[in-house]
Structure 1
Amino acid sequence: MKKVELGRTGQYVSQVSLGCMTMGTATDEPVSARILDVYLDAGGDFLDTANCYAWWAPDATGGESESLLGRLLRGRRDRVFLATKVSAGITDLPAARAARRPDGTVDWDAVERTFEGAGAAVIEREAEASLRRLGTDHLDLYYVHVDDRRVPLEETLSALDTLVRSGKVRYIGWSNVRTWRLERIRALALANGWASPVAVQVQHSYLRPTGADVPSVAGAELLDWLSVHPDVSLAAYSSLLRGIYDDAAYRESTPVWRSYAGPASEARLAAVAKVASELGASGNQVALAWLLRKGVIPLIGPRTWEHYESIAPAFTLELPDGLVSVLDNA
């Protein structure tokens, strides 16, 4: 697997990041271990988790993913670049669980009211908890998981900078954040000599959402901002939109499709199908390979071994310029 520079840090990471959200809950330990082993053997090293993963799973409270990774990484911590997150830990689990509607959708406003936030005391406490669960003395990348406007940015940035200066965190990032906030965060950090974000993590895929602009999805403004700020890398979660590029029946049945359905997406899906046919690849593999050509670091979050196995060929799938043009112009 190829390596790419994270921002302008001089630190190189694998071009595909392994999202570990379901490890320890929906993905049991043997399957998690198998996926991790094969990913590492393929040259992958960029692992992504969070202190809240995965509180929504049955009998879970959060921290399960970090705890399992801590066990699986014993004796090989130096082989990985380890990212985790703070600010979306749940303070009222019953209230968060009650936000799930009968139709399976979630009242995210209600869930967010239970988030721990990004205050200095939370950051200090939760960094220590993550270090303990992960069985390590440092975090390579520490994200603010959900931008917290209730806390002054100066407080959050100063707390993160303290962790960097102590050696407990190497780099910081931000997730689910609007572009104007990211610009302010970067400016404050630079003005005060604090650690500045080297990565932003938001949803991004080949298809473009048709709904309202939301901070968790990379819109045109953020992509434009990133193009002139190469010191910040884009780490894209939901890079395959739960695998909707191949299975039309599944696509129509999943709530994810509601945000993308429309003529523009149909045209882009047709382009994916054309390119996939020419290369003898799957649509999901083509969509992932397209992101890699665009300099994005996509996250994959396989829940099963079969999911991982179906995605892995994209790590080395080469898209000729002519087929990239087909995808770009759809």
Structure 2
Amino acid sequence: MQTMTLGGSGEQVSQVALGCMQMGTRQDEATSFALLDRYTERGGNFLDTANCYMWWHRRGIGGGQSEELLGRWLVRRGRRDDVFLATKGSGMVTDPSAAFTEDEEPDWNAAGRLFEGAGGETLHRAIDGSLQRLGTDYVDLYYVHVDDRTTPLEETLEALDDIVRAGKARFIGWSNVRTWRLERIRQLCDRHGWQSPVAVQQRHTYLRPRIERDQASNVDGEQLDYLAEHDDLTLVAYSPIVQGVYDVADKREGPGLIDLYRGPDTDARLAAVDRVASKVGATGSQVVLAWLLAQRDPRVIPLIGPRTLEQFDELMAALDLRLEGPVLAELDTAGA
């Protein structure tokens, strides 16, 4: 596992981050500990969680299970100083029980109206809760999980700066955010001398999102161009393998994340992945991860969330896959 500098932090983090969202809910403790052990044994150090993970697993659990499990792992393994620990606030819902349908499925439309937001008091309360669950005095990176456009940015940024000055977080980041908002955030931080973000966590993969399904969470061409010009911000790419669509043909039919990408351009891009995977003797997901790792303008840290050790080992094989110039060109030029 190689490392790279995270934005303007000066810190070295592993080139692949481990998403811990499902740990403590869909993944039992033994499996979660085994994944964390395997990842750190391979040289990984960048762990990602959030205070809301995973209230939607079932009604009544309320969230926080991932942080609690990570806290137990850190204590039992004594690894706090060996990892770069990231968590998030603002994405918790104020009443998780109200964000389920009558069929006991999460209601994401309702959840979108119930986010706790990024007000100053909320963020201070959220970071304290996260630190308690994680069993640590500080996190290395604290994200605004869901960009809150109802709270003045000045209030959010001042609170985040206070959190850093208090030693509760070393750096800050933003997630699910528009490019113009990133620029406004940077301008305010520069004007007031506040801590500026070093990372932006967005949904990003080899496929290009459909314009009509545009979301603040998706990286588009403008955001890639912006990040290429501002190397003090590193792109952390979540959902990089799009729920396995690069390897499982049935998943390309949906429903799921593929619906954000479906169209002629996507068909051409998927066909290119299939061709390259056949040429290099790899899976489609490995090809896509290797492609992301090969990007330089901007550089990308894929955030993976394997369910099993077997899935983890398969994805990690992408670290040994070197895509040469002609192969990269074939992938880059596929589609519209």
Q: TM-score range by the shorter chain?
A: over 0.9
For 2:56, what is the secondary structure of its paired residue?
A: coil
**Cross-structure match for 2:44:** 44
Query: Size of the alignment, in residue pairs?
Result: 327
Change (3 A) 1:286 1:196: same
Distance in 2 between residues matched to 1:93 and 1:168, nearest whole Å? 26
Distance 2:186 2:48 in 1: 22
- The amino acid of 1:309's aligned partner reads D
Alignment of 1:249-268 (within 5 A): 249-268=250-269
Q: Secondary structure at the match of 1:88?
A: coil
Counterpart for residue 150 of structure 1: 150
In structure 2, the residue corresponding to 1:261 is in which secondary structure? coil
Superposed displacement of residue 316, structure 1? 2.5
Letter in 1 for 2:164: V
Match of 2:191 in 1: 191
Q: How much has 1:258 moved relative to structure 2?
A: 1.9
1:116 partnered with 2:116: yes
The residue aligned with 1:312 is 316
Task: Tell me the secondary structure at the aligned position of residue 55 of structure 2.
Answer: coil
Matches within 5 A, 1:95-244: 95-98=98-101, 108-210=108-210, 211-244=212-245
Superposed CA RMSD in Å reads 1.5
Distance 1:223 1:9 in 2: 20
TM-score by length of 2: 0.94
After the TM superposition, list the runs of 4 or more consecutive aligned residues in structure 1 that deviate by more than 3 angstroms: 106-109
Aligned equivalents of 1:42, 1:149: Cα separation in 2: 39
Is 2:100–2:107's contact at 8 Å kept on the other side of the alignment? Answer: no
1:107-158: per-residue Cα shift (whole Å, max 9, x none)? Answer: 5342122111111111111111111111111110000000111111111100
CA contact (8 A) 1:6 1:198 kept: yes
More divergent stretch after superposition (260-269 vs 45-54): 260-269
Question: Percentage identity across aligned positions?
Answer: 56
Alignment correspondent of 2:332: 328
Could you list the runs of 5+ residues in structure 1 that have no partner in the other structure? none
The range that moved more, 74-83 or 208-217, is: 208-217
Counterpart of 1:78 in structure 2 is: 81
Superposition map of 1:271-310 within 5 A: 271-294=272-295, 295-310=299-314
- CA offset at residue 101 of structure 1? 7.8
Indicate if the aligned counterparts of 2:89 and 2:123 stay in contact, CA closer than 8 A. yes
CA separation in 1, counterparts of 2:289 and 2:63?
A: 29
Cα distance per residue 1:52-77 (max 9 Å; x no partner)? 00000125211000000001112111
Q: CA deviation at 1:256?
A: 1.9
Deviations 1:58-98 (A, max 9, x none): 25211000000001112111110000000011211121123
Unaligned 5+ residue runs, structure 2? none
**What is the alpha-carbon distance in structure 2 between the residues aligned to residue 249 and residue 112 of structure 1?**
29
- Which one-letter code corresponds to 2:93 in the other structure? I
Structure 2 distance, partners of 1:36, 1:261, is 34
Distance of 2:127 and 2:150 partners within structure 1:
20
Alpha-carbon displacement from aligned partner over 1:236-276 (angstroms, at most 9, x marks no partner): 10111011101111321432222222211111111111111
1:159-201 deviation per Cα after TM superposition (whole angstroms, max 9, x unaligned): 0001111111100000001111111011101110000011111
Q: With structure 1 as the length reference, what TM-score do the two structures score?
A: 0.96
* Structure 2 residue matching 1:140: 3-state secondary structure: strand
The range that moved more, 238-247 or 204-213, is: 204-213
How far apart, CA to CA, are the structure 1 residues paired with 2:155 and 2:81?
A: 31
Secondary structure of the corresponding residue to residue 218 of structure 1: coil
